[in-house]
Each structure stands twice: as structure tokens, then as C-alpha cells.
Amino acid sequence: MGIWFSLVAVAALILLGLLGANVSGLNYIFAVVIPYIAITLFIVGSIVRIVRWARSPVPFRIPTTGGQQKSLSFIKQNRLDNPSSYLGVLGRMALEVLFFRSLFRNTKAELKEGPILTYGANKWLWMFSLAFHWSFLIIFLRHFRFFTQPIPFFVPFLQDIDGFFQIWVPLIYMTNAVILAALTYLFFRRVFDSKIRYISLPSDYFPLLLIAGIAITGILMRYFFKTDLVAVKELMLGILSFAPSAPSEGLSLWFYLHLFFVCSLLIYFPMSKLVHMSGIFMSPTRNLANTNRMRRHVNPWIDELKMKPHTYEEYEDEFRKVMKGAGMPLDKEESHVS
Ligand code: HEM
């Protein structure tokens, strides 16, 4: 169901993009107006999400304990998995953002004959996710040749590395093959694994298909159906310098589709799971050092909210009978209560 919904949504976007490319009166709207709307919604939407996260109370540390916390001197602390300093937090965050460390440690559960529940390594997901994200980033950074004049120093550098194998004219970029392979894996993993299909929603399939649409139209444009790259750059520089010019005739249908997909992604981004890109930095389980035992953490809003502390003793007094009835261990038996 989710797959079909997403396929129909992407098909609708293709039809709209084709309309924008073929109806001359709509060219300006699709090449200029929609990109402005998309950039604005992306920026405003992302800021709203970040401000909302930043405003949610985090009164105490939430350590996800992947290792031993700082304790007595003779117990070895795991400084990266359970950091007690901000340097450690920086290390944990860097490993998470750059290498998806928690995904690397992810396991998958399978029911084997017996039935026996087994837990095994799941490195394919980690490998393809990492390959996808790195390819996306490199492709995006290479695109700066369309967005800035002069071209930033890292663009030729990335182009050289990415086109290292020097196959075909124009040179085939490794990232183009990798992103397609990774997207194929990530999509079919959801389609063919019944457990994952069961928990997958349209919001899981749609972004994969949309990004595949961007990659495929880009690849078609680079290797098979040429578009006027000077016209593309003129258009982009015009938009980014707030002096947009009318789109040139040289812009191909594939370019309109590519750009429309990118705009759809920008608009969809802040309201979708894709905001994990900024969310990871705001995640209390990642960005807080575990100082729970070293420092006393007092809820800073306790006076403001006129919250009366409710101690465990009081809690037990309140629920002693029920707890006893349920056979739960008690600190004080009824007869000892003064
Ligand atoms: C989410 C952002 C984007 C992604 C993931 C993306 C992806 C791609 C990919 C995979 C290619 C194939 C060739 C290559 O890797 O360089 C490509 C080509 C291309 N993209 Fe994008 N693109 C994005 C944004 C844009 C934008 C905003 C523009 C508007 C200027 C654009 C214009 C082009 C053009 C003109 C080509 C053909 C390049 C050539 O012929 O060498 N792309 N894109």
C-alpha cells in the first residue's frame, strides 16, 4: 500500500514537472518561482523544527549507555560510548555523523527453524546507508559549480577523485553508480523483507523514490541527454543573487524534471523524517555528557512550575496497599510505617 501511494505521488510529480517544461507560460514558474518557494519553505521549516527541539525541556542527562560510565578510578570508562566530558561527546557525535556508529552496532533478529530466535550482524544496511549519504554529500558539493562564481576550490578536487577511473566521456563519477546501488538496496530491503515491509510507511518509500528521481534525471542529463550548462548556471546565479532572469530555451525537459524533484525534496524535507540531518545534533542521547553521578542535576523549572517534589517514600506511602497486593517489593512494610 505504502509503495503504491509513494509511486503514485512520484508519478504525479513527474507529470507536473513535464507540464512545467512543456508549457512555455509555465517555464518561469517552474524555473524561478517554485525554486524560491522551495528554498524559503526549506529554511523556515528547518528553523521552526530546530527552535521547537531547542525549546523542549531536557532537565536531566539521558545517557544511552553503550559502555561503562565514569565511575571509580579502577573501573575503566568507555570514553566514546559513555562520555563524561564534552570532548568525549564531540568524539561520539563525530563518529555517529560521519560513520553512523550506532547503525554499525545494529543487529537483526531472525526466527530460525526450531524455532530459535537469533541475533546477527546487519552490516549491509550500515554499508549502503553510509554509501548513500556520502555519495549524496559529494554530489551536492560538486554541484557548487552551478551555484557560485568563481567555483570553490573543493569542486575540482572532488571531481578529480570522483572521476578517478577515467571511464567514458564525460567521465563517469563513482558517486553516480554508488548512489543508484545504495538507493536500490534501501528500497528493495523494504519491499522484499516482510518484517520491514510490515513497518514501512509511505513516508519511508517516498523520499527514496524522490531522491532516486533526482539522481536518475541528473545522470540522464549528464551522460545521455545534454542540457545547456551555461544556461543552468545563469539561471542559478540569477536566483541566488535575487536577480532572476527568464529561463533560457536551452534548458532541457530533464533539467526541469531534475529541478522540480529537488524543489519537492526541499519542501518535503522539514516536515519529514529527513530532518534527522539537523535533528541528530539536537538529540539529548547524543549531545549530553553523562555527568549524572558527578553532578547533582536539579530541574531548573522546579520553582517556576511550582512543582512539589514527590519522593519515593511518599510514592510508596501512597501506593503501599496496591503495591503489596501486586507482590511488589517495598522499602517499608505497613507495620513499620510511623
Ligand atoms: C538535492 C540536490 C541534488 C542532487 C542529489 C542532484 C543529483 C544529481 C546527480 C546524481 C547528477 C548526475 C551527475 C553528477 O553527479 O554530477 C546531477 C546532474 C546535474 N544536476 Fe543535479 N542534483 C541536485 C541539485 C541540483 C540543482 C539545484 C541543480 C540546478 C542547477 C542541478 C543541476 C544539475 C545539472 C545541470 C546536472 C547535469 C550535470 C552535467 O551534465 O555534468 N542539480 N544531479
pLDDT at residue 278 greater than cutoff 90: yes
Residue 227: predicted pLDDT: 92
pLDDT at residue 298 greater than cutoff 80: no
Q: Is 15 exposed, middle or buried (0-12, 13-18, 19+ CB in 10 A)?
A: exposed
Q: What is the pLDDT of residues 58-115, one digit of tens each?
A: 877 877 777 899 989 999 999 988 999 999 999 999 999 999 999 998 888 888 888 8
Q: Is residue 238 within a helix (H) or strand (E), and if so which, with residue range?
A: helix 229-240
Handedness of CA 155, 160, 164, 167 (dihedral sign): positive
pLDDT at residue 338 greater than cutoff 70: no
- Higher-confidence residue of 337 and 202: namely 202
For a substitution probing ligand 1, which of 184, 258, 262, 264 has the most ligand atoms within 8 Å of its CB?
Answer: 258
Q: How far is the CA of 214 from the centre of ligand 1 (A)?
A: 8
For a substitution probing ligand 1, which of 139, 236, 274 has the most ligand atoms within 8 Å of its CB?
Answer: 139
Is residue 218 within 6 Å of ligand 1 at its C-beta? yes
Q: What is the pLDDT of residues 6-43, one digit of tens each?
A: 999 999 999 999 999 888 889 999 999 999 999 999 99
Is residue 264 within 6 Å of ligand 1 at its C-beta? no
Residue 285: predicted pLDDT: 87
Angle at 259 between CA 132 and CA 204, to 5 degrees: 40
Q: Is residue 69 within a helix (H) or strand (E), and if so which, with residue range?
A: none
Q: How far is the CA of 259 from the centre of ligand 1 (A)?
A: 8
CA-wise closest residue to 245 among 253, 254, 235, 255: 235
Question: Please, what CATH class does the domain formed by 2-303 belong to?
Answer: mainly alpha
Grid look-up 549519504 returns 133
CA-wise closest residue to 98 among 281, 284, 288: 281
- What pTM was computed for the model? 0.88
For a substitution probing ligand 1, which of 34, 174, 222, 232 has the most ligand atoms within 8 Å of its CB?
Answer: 222
Q: How far is the CA of 304 from the centre of ligand 1 (A)?
A: 52
Q: Is 283 exposed, middle or buried (0-12, 13-18, 19+ CB in 10 A)?
A: middle
CB of 283 within 8 A of CB of 62?
no
For ligand 1, atom 29: residue with the closest CA: 259
Q: What's the whole-number average pLDDT of the chain?
A: 92
DSSP 259-317: HHHHHHHHHHGGGSGGGHHHHGGG-HHHHS---TTTS----TTTTTTTPPP--HHHHHH
Angle at 315 between CA 312 and CA 316, to 5 degrees: 90
Average pLDDT over residues 175-200: 96
Residue 56: predicted pLDDT: 86
List the chain domain ranges.
Answer: 2-303, 308-338
The DSSP output letter for 60 is S
Name the band, by pLDDT with cuts 50, 70 and 90, for residue 337: low
Is residue 236 within 6 Å of ligand 1 at its C-beta? yes
Separation in Å, CA 237 to CA 35, 100, 146, 322: 13, 35, 8, 70
Sequence-ordered list of residues with C-beta below 8 angstroms from that of 64, at least 6 positions apart, any chain: 285, 286
Grid look-up 553512523 returns 100
pLDDT at residue 144 greater than cutoff 70: yes
- Higher-confidence residue of 277 and 1: namely 277
